[in-house]
Structure 1
Amino acid sequence: MGRKTALITGASRGIGKRTAITLAENGYNVVINYHKSKEEAESLGQQLSAAFGVQAAPIHGDISKKEDCERLIQTAAAEFGSIDIIIHNAGPYVAERKTLDEYSWEEWEYMVNGNLNSVFYLTKLSLPYMRANQWGRVITFGFDRVETAPGWIYRSAFAAAKTGLASFTRTLAAEEASNGITANMICPGDIAGEWKERGITEARTAEHDLVPVGRPGTGEDLARVVAFLVSEDADFMTGSIIPVTGGQDVLGKIHHINYQKNRM
């Protein structure tokens, strides 16, 4: 095999962008999937190709739609010859705090399609390429303690989809191990705003009261874990659910915040 190709969903900005930069720096070709951020995706592709000498191509697709997933995989395979790695980074999230009954029918369907069904679509479509090479890497994203199927107040749709995804990831790992394909899940901490694209060195100059290690998490924290999991030397790592939280109780954050407010 030559240079390996990684498809990263939602890669035009945020954590996906930081992951694309790290993988390109490590010599991987990168498929930059985007939905609405066309200019950002095209600019990133040009930057990565110029800086690291890899092939980096932006490809549009709303991953919550099966038809878009089919076109995305077909386009990527035609341009790169194969798909070796999928980083399922993209996933809709409703920021507004809502109880289960307050979710609209459309919101629930979009959350499940974008966070669970999309992973099934893209993985199923990519498996033939990975099996043909007897090598592949699948990375999904969950949340703190997802493997225990915890309740997450005000996040019922997101939590339900990601909990199902945790089981999906472990099932895929067991089914595809004999084909040289690994599947692992990364569970980010509370990484928000500009920190999604920033680095560890920058974070060490900042403070975060809710994170036990004392600093905010960054996109680089996650990208470094991704880079290891997709490497040749990570072939013994599969079916793992890995927290990258700085020790923070992400699910209980709202209770900590309310407690601090009440003390003021």
Structure 2
Amino acid sequence: MKRNRTALITGSAKGLGVRIAHELAAQGIHIALNYRSSAAEADRLRQELEERYGISVLLLQADVSRAEEAERMIDTLISSWEHLDILVLNAGPYIKKRKKLADYSLDEWHDMIEGNLSSAFYLCRATIPHMRRSKWGRIVTIGFEKAQTAPGWMYRSAFAAAKTGLVSLTRTIALEEAEHGITANMVCPGDIIGEDKEKHIADVRSLSDPDTPVGRPGTGEDIARTIAFFCSEASDFITGTVLEVTGGKDVLNKYKMRREQ
């Protein structure tokens, strides 16, 4: 990786964002950590990254679902570092309770669309002009299994609608910005939950997961390594790609399979 590359990872104080930050920092990339309310966790991660990898870390508090806060965050980063090379759109709300479309409140629908789709528009609109000036950029979004096929997903209607819209947005950016040396790709995690989001692959090698064809649980490192691949200097020919990292598990149909058992 070229020296002095910088990356902004949204929603990076906890979960998948932690492993993504470690993976990119290990390559010498300076990291901007975005958080909404997890200030203590973000500061603890900042210390870990600076001590372990000797990079610079910037803490940026913002609710990226709000246009003015997202834009302010990018302005602050540019004022501090002058350029932004990598944008990883990891933040995105998710309603864990199983709810059919008719049972969603207007606020819940709004939160899902703003947090998972509109936030990407706000951040990309603010970031792309800076990447154009550098003639180099990497944008990575996060989806879900089969997102590129616009599938139905029971009990996840708002989240699925936002993420399938994000697929089209990602691919459109890839086409529009290719001439400026900017790539845009999406990574679609499988059923990686809880503490597994911050684990290494080595942590689960000896564990069995009979519901996943490869036989082990997925980890945050599985996702982080994929994102790092898209962000590398040599990945300039890869853009508009939607890549699933699921271990072969059919996440969307697990509820159906449970009913049939």
Q: What interval of TM-score do these two structures reach, taking the shorter chain for normalisation?
A: over 0.9
Shift of 1:45: 0.8
Aligned partners of 2:58, 2:47: CA distance in 1, in Å?
8
Query: Residues 31-46 of structure 1: matches in 2 within 5 Å?
Result: 31-46=32-47
In structure 1, the partner of 2:197 is 196
Structure 2 residue identity aligned to 1:65: R
Q: Give the conservation status (yes or no) of the 8 Å contact 1:10–1:32.
A: yes
* Distance in 1 of aligned mates of 2:254 and 2:83: 42
Hey, what's the Cα distance between the residues in 2 that align with 1:5 and 1:160? 31
The one-letter code of the counterpart of 1:225 is T
Where does residue 243 of structure 2 map in the other structure?
A: 242
Please say if residues 64 and 113 of structure 1, whose CA atoms lie closer than 8 Å, have aligned partners that are also in contact: yes
More off after superposition, 73-82 vs 111-120: 73-82
Aligned to 1:80: 81
Residue 19 of structure 1: SS of its match in structure 2? helix
Q: 1:2 deviation in Å?
A: 4.1
Indicate if the aligned counterparts of 1:42 and 1:57 stay in contact, CA closer than 8 A. Answer: no
Q: Secondary structure at the match of 1:152?
A: coil
Runs of 4+ in 1 over 6 A off after TM superposition: none
CA-based RMSD: 0.9
Structure 1 window deviating more from structure 2 (242-251 vs 203-212): it is 203-212
In 2, the alpha carbon distance for the partners of 1:107 and 1:218 equals 28
Q: Residues 205-244 of structure 1 correspond to what in structure 2 (within 5 A)? A: 205-244=206-245
SS of aligned partner of 2:99: coil
CA shift at 1:256, angstroms?
2.6
Structure 1: segments with no counterpart, 5+ residues: none
User: Aligned pair 1:117/2:147, yes or no?
Assistant: no
CA-CA distance at 1:207 after TM superposition: 1.4
Q: CA offsets per residue over residues 46-79 of structure 1, 9 Å max, x none?
A: 1101110111111100011001101110111111
What is the aligned partner in structure 2 of residue 132 from structure 1?
133
CA distance in 1, matches of 2:5, 2:140: 15
For 1:141-174, what per-residue CA distance to the aligned partner results, in whole angstroms no more than 9, with x for missing partners?
Answer: 1111111110000000000000000000000000
Which residue does 1:51 correspond to in 2? 52
The TM-score with structure 2 as length reference comes to: 0.98
**In 2: Cα distance, 1:257 partner to 1:140 partner:** 30
Q: Deviations over 1:165-208 (max 9, x none)?
A: 00000000000000000000000000000000001111111111
Give the % identical residues. 50
1:137 and 1:167 map into 2 onto residues whose CA distance is 17
Q: How many residues align?
A: 260
Structure 2 residues without counterparts, runs of 5 or longer:
none
